[in-house]
Amino acid sequence: MLKDIKIYKKDVKNIILKVRPTGEVELTAPHIASKEHIEHVVAKRKKWIAKKRAFFASFKHTKKEYVSGEDFKYLGRSYRLKVIESLKQRARLQGGYLEIHVRNKGDFKAKERLVYEWYYEKALLHFFNTLQEWNKIVKKEIKDVRIRNM
């Protein structure tokens, strides 16, 4: 049980148990804590550790491949991706699908860039409209919005 837990002995009064977003478990214990006491604490918190690991695992998303049928989220709804070969490159929502028109269906970077630019444009529009409403309430103008890819 202790083999997959990083244990640190420090000048602390209590045992501190943490589950990192990566799923790693860290335990900080006082210098005087025995191995048996540490094992007892870990055994007692076994369900909590599993619950936290599952919680963090639920946020991990797989790397997008940008192929038809893949799901993309937009404003709380899921849209299936439809990749269409076309001379004019663009992205749009059409009938429950996020359609991207590309010159070459195999060009991963072009598909990724089109989807990113589409999300960026929609985010700017959405935030701009939201800020217009808030400007009326707080009576202070917000001059610019920056969007970063996280």
**Mean pLDDT along residues 86-91:** 95
Residue type, 41: V
**Mean pLDDT along residues 63-77:** 93
Question: According to the model, what pLDDT value does residue 149 have?
Answer: 79
pLDDT band at 134 (very low <50, low <70, confident <90, very high): confident
pLDDT at 1 > cutoff 70: no
Q: How far is 50 from 60, CA to CA, in rounded Å?
A: 16
**Mean pLDDT along residues 74-102:** 95
Q: What is the pTM of this model?
A: 0.62
pLDDT at 127 > cutoff 80: yes
DSSP alpha helix (H) spans, 45-145: 46-57, 108-138
pLDDT at 146 > cutoff 80: yes
Q: How far is 65 from 63, CA to CA, in rounded Å?
A: 6
Q: How far is 30 from 10, CA to CA, in rounded Å?
A: 5
Q: How far is 119 from 94, CA to CA, in rounded Å?
A: 15
**Mean pLDDT along residues 21-34:** 95
**Mean pLDDT along residues 61-72:** 90
